[in-house]
């Protein structure tokens, strides 16, 4: 049986933090605030995978009250989610995700993001598709108060 999951995440942009998206550090004047590295893209993908497998969400598995996850790379969290799916005998079919950010332009980094995600999930790069869009100056992402990401995944029992 094929199952689908949808994930969404958002973090506030603040000074004094690195901007990490898809496991790529992007030079920018502000970064995302969060307990981990605040990588909204990887968090949305992790939530989509957990949801597809009916395993809850990232807050359940990696609570911000646990210092073990303070500043952790979200690539490590995504690898852990992959392991949870493998334990339940799920195989990842595909990942389709969208970053919503007014700035910076992330197009030059998308190939590396796709590669990072594929490596963390141990799937082929052609099973991963990251896109980016702006909100034409509208909303909290359009006014550069934050960045959000959406993800949809397909998984199947082995």
96 is known to lie in a ligand binding site: no
- Of the candidates 27, 10, 23, 36, the one whose C-alpha atom is nearest the C-alpha of residue 147 is 10
Predicted structure pTM score: 0.97
Consult the annotation and say whether 106 binds a ligand: no
The full length of the chain comes to 158
The rounded distance, in Å, linking the Cα atoms of 122 and 59 is 23
How much is the pLDDT for 68?
A: 85
- The annotation status of 135 as a binding-site residue, yes or no, is yes
The pLDDT score that the predictor gives to residue 158 is 86
Is 134 annotated for ligand binding?
yes
pLDDT tens for residues 23-68?
999 999 999 999 999 999 999 999 999 999 999 999 999 988 888 8
CA distance 76 to 62: 11
Domain 2-157 CATH (choose: 3.40.980.10, 3.30.1330.50, 3.40.190.10, 3.30.2270.10):
3.30.1330.50
Q: Was 20 annotated as part of a binding site? A: no
Query: Would you state the pLDDT for residue 1?
Result: 87
Mean pLDDT, range 107-129, rounded to an integer: 98
Report whether 142 belongs to an annotated binding site. Answer: no
63 is in an annotated binding site: yes
Q: How confident is the model at residue 87, as a pLDDT?
A: 97
pLDDT digits over 79-113, tens only? 999 999 999 999 999 999 999 999 999 999 999 99
| Closest listed residue to residue 40, CA positions, set 77, 94, 90 | 77
- Residue 146 is labelled as binding a ligand: no
Provide the pLDDT confidence category of residue 69 given band limits of 50, 70 and 90: confident
User: How far is the C-alpha of 45 from the C-alpha of 81, rounded, in Å?
Assistant: 10
Q: Is 140 annotated as a binding residue?
A: yes
- Rg value, the chain, Cα: 15
Does the annotation flag 152 for ligand binding?
Answer: no
Non-local (6+) Cβ contacts of 150 within 8 A are 6, 7, 8, 44, 97, 98, 100
Task: Pull the structure tokens for residue 71.
Answer: 């500043």
Q: Is 72 annotated as a binding residue?
A: no
């Amino acid at each position: 049986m094929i199952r689908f999951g949808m994930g969404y995440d958002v973090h506030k942009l603040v000074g004094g933090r690195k901007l990490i998206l898809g496991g790529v550090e992007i030079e920018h004047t502000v970064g995302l605030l969060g307990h981990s590295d605040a990588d909204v893209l990887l968090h949305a993908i992790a939530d989509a995978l957990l949801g597809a497998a009916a395993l809850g969400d990232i807050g359940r598995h990696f609570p911000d009250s646990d210092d073990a996850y303070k500043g952790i790379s979200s690539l490590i969290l995504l690898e852990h989610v992959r392991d949870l799916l493998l334990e339940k005998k799920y195989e990842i079919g595909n990942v389709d995700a969208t970053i919503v950010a007014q700035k910076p332009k992330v197009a030059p980094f998308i190939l590396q993001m796709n590669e990072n995600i594929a490596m963390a999930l141990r799937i082929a790069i052609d099973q991963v598709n990251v896109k980016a869009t702006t909100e034409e100056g509208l909303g909290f992402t359009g006014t550069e108060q934050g960045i959000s990401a959406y993800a949809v995944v397909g998984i199947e029992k082995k």
